[in-house]
Amino acid sequence: MTSSNALQNLIDGRLVPPRNGRYLDVVEPATGQVFARCPAADSTDVEAAVAAARAAFPGWAATPADVRARLLERLADRVEAELDALAELESRDSGKPVALARRVDIPRAVANLRFFAHAITQWPSESHPMEERALNYTLRQPLGVVGCISPWNLPLYLFTWKIAPALAAGNTVVAKPSEVTPCTAARLGELAVEAGLPPGVLNIVHGTGPDCGQAIVEHPSIKAISFTGSTRTGAAIAASAAPRFKKLSLELGGKNPAIVFDDFDFEAASLDTIVRSGFANQGEICLCGSRLLVQRSIYERFRARYLERVRALRVGDPRDADSDLGALVSEPHYRKILACIERARAEGGTILTGGGPATVAGRCADGWFVEPTVVEGLSNDSATNQEEIFGPVVCLIPFDDEADAIALANGTGYGLAASLWTRDLKRAHRVAARLEFGLVWVNCWLLRDLRTPFGGVKNSGVGREGGVEALRFFTEPKNVCLAL
Ligand code: NAD
């Protein structure tokens, strides 16, 4: 950041202002105050970034995997060395508690870079011998220039989750973080230069979806798009990329269920995890469980214990170590969440706790805080239970038996993540197999092994990230058949 707190694009190894000279305000959600400016880049800057990435590609693709890995490790070291400062920046930019950014977001960004640095050096090739007639072997070659577009909820975490496998596999990258939370990605760009990434290998352009993101998606030299964001934007990107035959990975929205069976262990830490699964990061995680399905025989007991915990959550200044929830990311998002709560009331829902803005005194008096809100009495078919809210709002829904639970869980257009809570192992396997979701957690939530496939089904996306799935996405397999 410069003295005027103006972020810059990273193009061809240099930090440069947008060619049109235009900037967007970056606002601190906890105070409502502008604290930085982000380039409003457009197709001209994207063109320059693509040109740099194209020029850098042959050299980067020919760089041995262990050398690429070492550069990613050096970048990881630099991010790790700035963990505290990056966590504070992430919190300031997004409204999330700084403690959460320090515990989850920034360490995970480091882990993403290290994981794919290691993974690329351990990735075996395949061969298919045809007895004595021929030998097939598969080359997995980088695609060329790829586009990575990420959202605002886990800014550096999701940005690195995309660029790390893309770079490790030998591609050069044009990446766009969310214009709502651009700061940590901008700092990462500076650290990439310091770490010695060759010019043009990683280019970062900042700007809005329509002006900058769209230019990346439409650029004929960009071979693949890895996108995480809303289902609506994902559909627009798919429509634009399809006639250009680009490879697409789309990680989209969700309406995730947490399913609590009657043998639920009230004494274990499970209840705390279920509360966290609804309200961590103010509910702004695509994996948050916003539909809490509870077996009718324990419904009242569970509800009482659950509400006790939710009421104990503290909404406060993201800088305070004891704030469980910080501010929502932006004023439009804050207004959207309040409108969703109003809609829940209008649909006939009962607000059991929360239900409106939260006031935080002092420096945060003008911030965008919302109370953790629990609703009951709405059917699974209500708009509240069908549409993604992406805020601190959870709906309680009773169910009768296993079949009922599965039907309710599967009964939305989304299919990202489900969690189920039971001590019956057979039931856990049975239900997990029948849930139409890309991820199922049994007696846990957000426990992530970076080797596992990550992604959703139905309107939650296409393709998988994580481990070899990401390396496969960012490479083109080529079969070589050699007659013997
Ligand atoms: P969004 O779709 O508004 O924006 C995401 C990114 O796409 C931003 O960088 C934005 O500038 C860009 N963009 C917008 N329009 C574009 C266009 N036409 N072409 C190219 N790029 C464009 O999403 P958001 O509001 O930033 O993020 C919240 C959404 O992300 C939620 O729906 C959430 O569920 C989803 N999400 C999904 C996952 C997952 O892994 N499945 C993870 C995190 C967030």
Are the CB atoms for 91 and 326 separated by under 8 Å? yes
Q: Does 318 lie in the same domain as 186?
A: no
Q: Does 76 lie in the same domain as 220?
A: yes
pLDDT tens digit sequence for 278-295: 999 999 999 999 999 999
User: Is residue 334 a part of any domain in this protein?
Assistant: yes
Q: Does 359 lie in the same domain as 272?
A: yes
User: Is residue 361 a part of any domain in this protein?
Assistant: yes
| Amino acid, single-letter form, for residue 145 | V
| Mean predicted confidence (pLDDT) in 235-261 | 97
Q: What is the per-residue pLDDT for 195?
A: 98
Burial class (CB in 10 A: 0-12, 13-18, 19+), 1: middle
Write down the pTM of the prediction: 0.98
Residue 251 annotated among the catalytic residues of the structure: yes
pLDDT tens digit sequence for 68-92: 999 999 999 999 999 999 999 999 9
User: Mean pLDDT, the chain, as a whole number?
Assistant: 97
Q: Flag whether pLDDT at 3 surpasses 50.
A: no
User: Is residue 454 a part of any domain in this protein?
Assistant: no
Confidence of residue 155 (pLDDT cuts 50, 70, 90): very high
Residues 6+ apart with CB under 8 A from 132: 484
| Mean predicted confidence (pLDDT) in 270-283 | 98
CATH of the domain at 302: 3.40.309.10
Q: Does 31 lie in the same domain as 176?
A: yes
Give the pair of three-digit tokens for residue 98.
């700084």
Q: What is the per-residue pLDDT for 2?
A: 47
Give the pair of three-digit tokens for residue 428.
């856990």
| Total number of domains constituting the chain | 2
Q: What is the per-residue pLDDT for 268?
A: 79
- Ligand 1 proximal residues by C-beta, below 6 Å: 149-153, 158, 176, 178-179, 208-210, 213-214, 217, 228-230, 233, 236-237, 251-254, 286, 388, 390, 416, 456, 461
Model ipTM value = 0.98
* Index of the ligand 1 atom closest to the CA of residue 179: 11
Q: Pinpoint the alpha helices (H) of 122-251.
A: 155-168, 183-195, 214-218, 231-241
* Index of the ligand 1 atom closest to the CA of residue 460: 41
Q: What is the per-residue pLDDT for 4?
A: 66
Measured CA to CA, the distance from residue 128 to residue 459 in angstroms comes to 36
Residues 6+ apart with CB under 8 A from 434: 406, 410
Are the CB atoms for 228 and 254 separated by under 8 Å? no
Are the CB atoms for 223 and 142 separated by under 8 Å? no
| Mean predicted confidence (pLDDT) in 468-480 | 98
pLDDT tens digit sequence for 99-130: 999 999 999 999 999 999 999 999 999 999 99
Element (H, E) at 51: helix 43-62
Confidence of residue 267 (pLDDT cuts 50, 70, 90): confident
